[in-house]
Structure 1
Amino acid sequence: MRSSAVYDQIPVVKVTGQGTTTLSAFHDALVQADLAVYNLVRLSSVIPPGTSVDATGKAPVPVGAWGDKLYCVYADQYATLPGEQAWAGIGWVQRLDGKGGLFVEHEGTSEGYVTQAIKNSLRDLIRGHEEGFTDPDFVVHGVVCESDPVCAMVIAPYETATWVGAAS
Protein backbone atom coordinates (compact mmCIF):
# COMPACT_ATOMS: atom_id res chain seq x y z
CA MET A 1 0.00 0.00 0.00
CA ARG A 2 1.43 3.36 -1.03
CA SER A 3 0.32 6.17 1.21
CA SER A 4 -0.79 9.36 -0.53
CA ALA A 5 -0.52 11.56 2.51
CA VAL A 6 0.78 10.95 6.03
CA TYR A 7 0.70 13.57 8.75
CA ASP A 8 2.28 13.88 12.18
CA GLN A 9 -0.83 15.73 13.39
CA ILE A 10 -4.33 14.31 13.27
CA PRO A 11 -6.90 17.08 12.87
CA VAL A 12 -10.22 16.81 14.67
CA VAL A 13 -12.89 18.40 12.49
CA LYS A 14 -16.47 19.19 13.52
CA VAL A 15 -19.12 19.62 10.83
CA THR A 16 -22.83 19.35 10.17
CA GLY A 17 -24.67 18.29 7.06
CA GLN A 18 -28.21 18.37 5.78
CA GLY A 19 -30.03 16.41 3.09
CA THR A 20 -33.31 14.83 2.12
CA THR A 21 -32.11 11.53 3.65
CA THR A 22 -29.76 10.67 6.49
CA LEU A 23 -27.29 9.30 3.92
CA SER A 24 -27.24 12.57 1.99
CA ALA A 25 -26.90 14.49 5.28
CA PHE A 26 -23.86 12.31 6.12
CA HIS A 27 -22.40 13.00 2.67
CA ASP A 28 -23.01 16.73 3.05
CA ALA A 29 -21.13 16.68 6.36
CA LEU A 30 -18.18 15.05 4.56
CA VAL A 31 -18.42 17.73 1.86
CA GLN A 32 -18.27 20.41 4.56
CA ALA A 33 -15.12 18.75 5.95
CA ASP A 34 -13.58 18.53 2.45
CA LEU A 35 -13.48 14.72 2.78
CA ALA A 36 -16.34 13.59 0.52
CA VAL A 37 -14.21 12.09 -2.27
CA TYR A 38 -12.72 9.29 -0.16
CA ASN A 39 -13.70 5.78 0.88
CA LEU A 40 -13.76 5.91 4.67
CA VAL A 41 -11.90 3.20 6.54
CA ARG A 42 -12.98 3.42 10.15
CA LEU A 43 -10.20 2.74 12.65
CA SER A 44 -10.42 1.28 16.14
CA SER A 45 -9.28 4.45 17.86
CA VAL A 46 -5.57 3.95 18.60
CA ILE A 47 -3.48 7.06 18.01
CA PRO A 48 -0.15 6.11 16.39
CA PRO A 49 3.15 6.83 18.19
CA GLY A 50 4.70 10.21 17.43
CA THR A 51 1.37 11.66 16.32
CA SER A 52 -0.35 14.57 18.02
CA VAL A 53 -4.02 15.53 17.89
CA ASP A 54 -5.00 19.03 16.74
CA ALA A 55 -8.48 20.33 17.54
CA THR A 56 -7.58 23.96 16.79
CA GLY A 57 -8.36 23.76 13.08
CA LYS A 58 -4.76 24.55 12.14
CA ALA A 59 -3.71 21.05 11.04
CA PRO A 60 -4.85 20.36 7.47
CA VAL A 61 -7.04 17.42 6.58
CA PRO A 62 -5.25 14.75 4.54
CA VAL A 63 -5.21 15.22 0.79
CA GLY A 64 -5.54 12.44 -1.74
CA ALA A 65 -7.28 11.57 -4.99
CA TRP A 66 -10.88 10.65 -5.80
CA GLY A 67 -11.66 7.20 -4.42
CA ASP A 68 -8.59 6.90 -2.18
CA LYS A 69 -8.96 5.28 1.22
CA LEU A 70 -9.20 7.67 4.16
CA TYR A 71 -8.26 6.15 7.49
CA CYS A 72 -10.25 7.89 10.21
CA VAL A 73 -12.10 7.80 13.50
CA TYR A 74 -15.49 9.48 13.50
CA ALA A 75 -18.72 9.93 15.39
CA ASP A 76 -21.95 10.74 13.56
CA GLN A 77 -25.48 11.26 14.80
CA TYR A 78 -28.68 12.08 12.93
CA ALA A 79 -31.90 13.95 13.63
CA THR A 80 -34.86 13.59 11.26
CA LEU A 81 -37.75 15.38 12.95
CA PRO A 82 -38.05 19.13 13.56
CA GLY A 83 -36.74 20.00 17.01
CA GLU A 84 -34.65 16.83 17.40
CA GLN A 85 -30.99 17.24 18.29
CA ALA A 86 -28.01 15.28 16.98
CA TRP A 87 -24.70 15.33 18.88
CA ALA A 88 -21.39 13.66 18.06
CA GLY A 89 -18.02 13.79 19.76
CA ILE A 90 -14.51 12.44 19.89
CA GLY A 91 -12.31 12.43 22.97
CA TRP A 92 -8.68 11.46 23.38
CA VAL A 93 -5.78 10.94 25.70
CA GLN A 94 -2.14 10.67 24.70
CA ARG A 95 0.67 8.76 26.33
CA LEU A 96 3.13 11.01 28.14
CA ASP A 97 6.06 9.14 26.55
CA GLY A 98 4.88 10.14 23.04
CA LYS A 99 4.12 6.56 22.04
CA GLY A 100 0.54 7.09 20.94
CA GLY A 101 -2.80 7.44 22.59
CA LEU A 102 -6.47 6.58 22.39
CA PHE A 103 -9.53 8.07 20.75
CA VAL A 104 -13.11 7.35 21.76
CA GLU A 105 -16.20 8.38 19.85
CA HIS A 106 -19.78 8.75 21.02
CA GLU A 107 -23.11 9.93 19.64
CA GLY A 108 -26.41 10.90 21.20
CA THR A 109 -29.29 13.35 21.40
CA SER A 110 -27.75 15.78 23.90
CA GLU A 111 -24.42 17.48 24.42
CA GLY A 112 -24.33 16.43 28.06
CA TYR A 113 -24.81 12.75 27.29
CA VAL A 114 -22.07 12.68 24.64
CA THR A 115 -19.61 14.63 26.77
CA GLN A 116 -20.14 12.38 29.78
CA ALA A 117 -19.91 9.20 27.67
CA ILE A 118 -16.56 10.37 26.28
CA LYS A 119 -15.20 11.14 29.75
CA ASN A 120 -16.44 7.80 31.13
CA SER A 121 -14.95 5.79 28.27
CA LEU A 122 -11.56 7.47 28.49
CA ARG A 123 -11.49 7.01 32.26
CA ASP A 124 -12.25 3.31 31.84
CA LEU A 125 -9.71 2.79 29.04
CA ILE A 126 -6.80 4.21 31.01
CA ARG A 127 -7.78 2.81 34.40
CA GLY A 128 -4.61 1.67 36.12
CA HIS A 129 -2.44 3.73 33.73
CA GLU A 130 -3.61 7.26 34.56
CA GLU A 131 -0.10 8.51 35.36
CA GLY A 132 1.04 7.63 31.85
CA PHE A 133 -1.56 9.69 29.94
CA THR A 134 -2.48 13.32 29.40
CA ASP A 135 -5.73 14.64 30.79
CA PRO A 136 -8.66 13.88 28.49
CA ASP A 137 -9.54 16.33 25.74
CA PHE A 138 -12.57 16.25 23.47
CA VAL A 139 -14.60 17.92 20.74
CA VAL A 140 -18.40 17.68 20.82
CA HIS A 141 -20.63 19.15 18.11
CA GLY A 142 -24.37 19.27 17.59
CA VAL A 143 -27.17 20.39 15.32
CA VAL A 144 -30.94 20.78 15.63
CA CYS A 145 -33.17 19.49 12.85
CA GLU A 146 -35.34 22.23 11.41
CA SER A 147 -36.89 20.36 8.46
CA ASP A 148 -34.73 17.95 6.43
CA PRO A 149 -32.55 15.33 8.13
CA VAL A 150 -29.28 16.56 9.62
CA CYS A 151 -26.00 14.93 10.60
CA ALA A 152 -23.62 16.07 13.32
CA MET A 153 -20.11 14.71 12.76
CA VAL A 154 -16.74 14.91 14.44
CA ILE A 155 -14.03 13.23 12.40
CA ALA A 156 -10.31 12.62 12.93
CA PRO A 157 -8.81 11.82 9.50
CA TYR A 158 -5.42 10.10 9.83
CA GLU A 159 -4.18 9.68 6.26
CA THR A 160 -5.15 8.83 2.71
CA ALA A 161 -3.87 5.88 0.71
CA THR A 162 -4.31 4.73 -2.87
CA TRP A 163 -5.65 1.31 -3.74
CA VAL A 164 -3.03 -1.31 -4.61
CA GLY A 165 -2.56 -1.18 -8.37
CA ALA A 166 -4.42 2.12 -8.70
CA ALA A 167 -3.16 4.46 -11.41
CA SER A 168 -1.19 7.44 -10.09
Structure 2
Amino acid sequence: MMNRIHVAGGVGVAPTEMAAYDAALADANLHNYNLVRVSSIVPAGAAVERVDRAPDLGPAGNRLTVVESRITAPPGASDDPLVAGLGWATGPGPGLFYEATGRDPTAVRRELEDGLDAGSELRDWALPDREFEVTTARPEDGAWTTVVTVAVYGESEPVL
Protein backbone atom coordinates (compact mmCIF):
# COMPACT_ATOMS: atom_id res chain seq x y z
CA MET A 1 0.00 0.00 0.00
CA MET A 2 3.03 2.30 0.19
CA ASN A 3 2.56 3.61 -3.36
CA ARG A 4 -1.17 4.15 -2.86
CA ILE A 5 -2.83 7.45 -2.03
CA HIS A 6 -6.35 7.13 -0.60
CA VAL A 7 -8.81 10.02 -1.02
CA ALA A 8 -11.71 10.17 1.44
CA GLY A 9 -14.19 12.78 2.60
CA GLY A 10 -15.86 13.35 5.93
CA VAL A 11 -18.38 15.55 7.70
CA GLY A 12 -18.39 16.37 11.41
CA VAL A 13 -20.83 18.20 13.65
CA ALA A 14 -19.95 19.06 17.26
CA PRO A 15 -20.19 21.77 19.95
CA THR A 16 -16.71 23.23 19.25
CA GLU A 17 -14.71 23.99 16.12
CA MET A 18 -11.95 21.48 16.93
CA ALA A 19 -14.44 18.76 17.91
CA ALA A 20 -16.23 19.22 14.56
CA TYR A 21 -12.89 18.82 12.75
CA ASP A 22 -12.12 15.68 14.80
CA ALA A 23 -15.59 14.30 13.97
CA ALA A 24 -15.06 14.98 10.24
CA LEU A 25 -11.73 13.11 10.40
CA ALA A 26 -13.52 10.26 12.23
CA ASP A 27 -16.08 10.13 9.42
CA ALA A 28 -13.16 9.56 7.02
CA ASN A 29 -11.44 7.14 9.49
CA LEU A 30 -8.44 9.45 9.95
CA HIS A 31 -9.06 10.72 13.50
CA ASN A 32 -6.50 8.57 15.32
CA TYR A 33 -3.45 9.84 13.43
CA ASN A 34 -1.21 12.90 13.52
CA LEU A 35 -1.66 14.51 10.13
CA VAL A 36 1.26 16.23 8.42
CA ARG A 37 0.13 18.42 5.53
CA VAL A 38 2.11 18.62 2.33
CA SER A 39 1.51 20.84 -0.66
CA SER A 40 0.47 19.16 -3.84
CA ILE A 41 2.77 16.75 -5.68
CA VAL A 42 1.71 13.19 -6.47
CA PRO A 43 4.90 11.10 -6.58
CA ALA A 44 5.57 9.31 -9.87
CA GLY A 45 4.22 5.76 -9.75
CA ALA A 46 1.66 6.44 -7.01
CA ALA A 47 -1.87 5.13 -7.52
CA VAL A 48 -4.61 7.50 -6.33
CA GLU A 49 -7.73 5.69 -5.17
CA ARG A 50 -11.05 7.22 -4.07
CA VAL A 51 -12.51 5.44 -0.99
CA ASP A 52 -15.56 5.97 1.22
CA ARG A 53 -13.39 5.74 4.35
CA ALA A 54 -9.65 5.36 4.69
CA PRO A 55 -8.54 1.81 5.54
CA ASP A 56 -6.60 1.01 8.71
CA LEU A 57 -3.21 2.63 8.07
CA GLY A 58 -1.38 1.68 11.25
CA PRO A 59 -1.41 2.26 15.01
CA ALA A 60 -3.13 5.23 16.63
CA GLY A 61 -0.76 8.14 17.21
CA ASN A 62 1.30 7.50 14.10
CA ARG A 63 1.99 10.20 11.51
CA LEU A 64 0.20 10.34 8.15
CA THR A 65 1.22 12.54 5.24
CA VAL A 66 -1.83 14.23 3.69
CA VAL A 67 -3.12 16.87 1.31
CA GLU A 68 -6.24 18.30 2.95
CA SER A 69 -9.14 20.49 1.92
CA ARG A 70 -11.19 21.71 4.91
CA ILE A 71 -13.99 24.17 5.59
CA THR A 72 -15.78 24.90 8.86
CA ALA A 73 -18.89 26.91 9.71
CA PRO A 74 -19.86 28.13 13.20
CA PRO A 75 -23.30 27.72 14.76
CA GLY A 76 -25.82 30.00 13.08
CA ALA A 77 -23.94 30.21 9.76
CA SER A 78 -25.90 30.50 6.55
CA ASP A 79 -27.31 27.24 5.39
CA ASP A 80 -25.40 27.40 2.09
CA PRO A 81 -23.50 24.14 1.61
CA LEU A 82 -19.95 23.68 2.88
CA VAL A 83 -17.75 22.30 0.10
CA ALA A 84 -14.24 20.83 0.41
CA GLY A 85 -12.70 19.36 -2.72
CA LEU A 86 -9.55 17.83 -4.10
CA GLY A 87 -8.66 17.43 -7.74
CA TRP A 88 -5.74 15.44 -9.02
CA ALA A 89 -4.00 15.16 -12.35
CA THR A 90 -1.64 12.37 -13.29
CA GLY A 91 0.35 11.32 -16.30
CA PRO A 92 3.52 9.43 -17.06
CA GLY A 93 5.58 11.09 -14.26
CA PRO A 94 4.68 13.01 -11.12
CA GLY A 95 1.22 14.51 -10.78
CA LEU A 96 -0.57 17.26 -8.89
CA PHE A 97 -3.22 17.69 -6.23
CA TYR A 98 -5.16 20.91 -5.95
CA GLU A 99 -7.50 21.76 -3.09
CA ALA A 100 -10.38 24.23 -2.94
CA THR A 101 -13.19 25.13 -0.55
CA GLY A 102 -16.27 27.30 -0.70
CA ARG A 103 -20.04 27.43 -0.45
CA ASP A 104 -20.91 26.59 -4.09
CA PRO A 105 -20.08 23.08 -5.41
CA THR A 106 -19.93 24.27 -9.03
CA ALA A 107 -17.51 27.09 -8.20
CA VAL A 108 -15.29 24.74 -6.15
CA ARG A 109 -15.15 22.24 -9.01
CA ARG A 110 -14.25 25.03 -11.47
CA GLU A 111 -11.49 26.25 -9.12
CA LEU A 112 -10.08 22.72 -8.91
CA GLU A 113 -10.03 22.44 -12.71
CA ASP A 114 -8.44 25.88 -13.12
CA GLY A 115 -5.83 25.10 -10.45
CA LEU A 116 -4.83 21.82 -12.10
CA ASP A 117 -4.57 23.58 -15.48
CA ALA A 118 -2.38 26.32 -14.01
CA GLY A 119 -0.17 23.89 -12.07
CA SER A 120 0.34 21.67 -15.12
CA GLU A 121 1.21 24.66 -17.27
CA LEU A 122 3.58 26.11 -14.66
CA ARG A 123 5.55 22.87 -14.59
CA ASP A 124 5.15 22.10 -18.30
CA TRP A 125 3.85 18.63 -17.37
CA ALA A 126 1.39 16.67 -19.51
CA LEU A 127 -1.25 15.49 -17.02
CA PRO A 128 -4.15 14.15 -19.08
CA ASP A 129 -5.83 12.03 -16.38
CA ARG A 130 -7.98 14.14 -14.03
CA GLU A 131 -10.23 13.14 -11.16
CA PHE A 132 -12.12 15.01 -8.46
CA GLU A 133 -13.56 14.31 -5.03
CA VAL A 134 -15.87 16.96 -3.61
CA THR A 135 -17.46 16.55 -0.17
CA THR A 136 -20.52 18.67 0.59
CA ALA A 137 -22.77 19.15 3.62
CA ARG A 138 -25.16 21.78 4.95
CA PRO A 139 -24.22 23.37 8.29
CA GLU A 140 -26.13 22.03 11.28
CA ASP A 141 -28.18 24.46 13.33
CA GLY A 142 -26.67 25.22 16.74
CA ALA A 143 -23.36 23.39 16.18
CA TRP A 144 -20.03 23.71 14.40
CA THR A 145 -19.86 21.84 11.08
CA THR A 146 -16.66 20.79 9.31
CA VAL A 147 -16.25 19.19 5.89
CA VAL A 148 -12.95 17.61 4.81
CA THR A 149 -11.57 15.87 1.77
CA VAL A 150 -8.20 14.28 2.45
CA ALA A 151 -5.60 12.50 0.31
CA VAL A 152 -3.53 10.13 2.47
CA TYR A 153 -0.08 9.10 1.26
CA GLY A 154 0.82 5.46 2.00
CA GLU A 155 0.68 4.06 5.52
CA SER A 156 1.34 5.70 8.86
CA GLU A 157 4.79 6.00 10.41
CA PRO A 158 5.79 6.25 14.08
CA VAL A 159 6.14 9.81 15.38
CA LEU A 160 8.75 8.81 17.96
Q: TM-score, normalised by structure 1?
A: 0.84
Preserved contact between residue 62 and residue 158 of structure 1 (Cα < 8 Å) = no
Preserved contact between residue 9 and residue 150 of structure 2 (Cα < 8 Å) = yes
Unaligned runs of 5+ in 2: none
Point out 4+ residue stretches in structure 1 off by more than 6 angstroms: none
**C-alpha offsets along residues 6-48 of structure 1, whole Å, 9 cap, x if unaligned?**
5222111011111112211110011111111111100111111
Preserved contact between residue 7 and residue 62 of structure 1 (Cα < 8 Å) = no
Aligned length: 155
Query: What residue in structure 2 maps to residue 3 of structure 1?
Result: none
Percent identity over the alignment? Answer: 26
Q: Does 1:64 align with 2:58?
A: yes
Q: Does 1:161 align with 2:157?
A: yes
Distance in 2, matches of 1:9 and 1:133, equals 18
Instruction: Give the SS at the match of 1:12.
Output: strand
> Which of 16, 24, 32 pairs up with 1:29?
24
Give the superposition deviation at 1:124.
0.5
Distance in 2, matches of 1:59 and 1:8, equals 18
Give the superposition deviation at 1:142.
0.9
> Which of 123, 136, 146 pairs up with 1:151?
146
Query: What residue in structure 1 maps to residue 9 of structure 2?
Result: 14
Give the superposition deviation at 1:152.
1.0
Preserved contact between residue 14 and residue 20 of structure 2 (Cα < 8 Å) = yes
Q: TM-score, normalised by structure 2?
A: 0.88
Give the superposition deviation at 1:77.
0.6
Note closer, same or farther for the CA distance 1:44–1:154 as it changes in structure 2 (3 Å cut): same
Distance in 1, matches of 2:2 and 2:129, equals 23
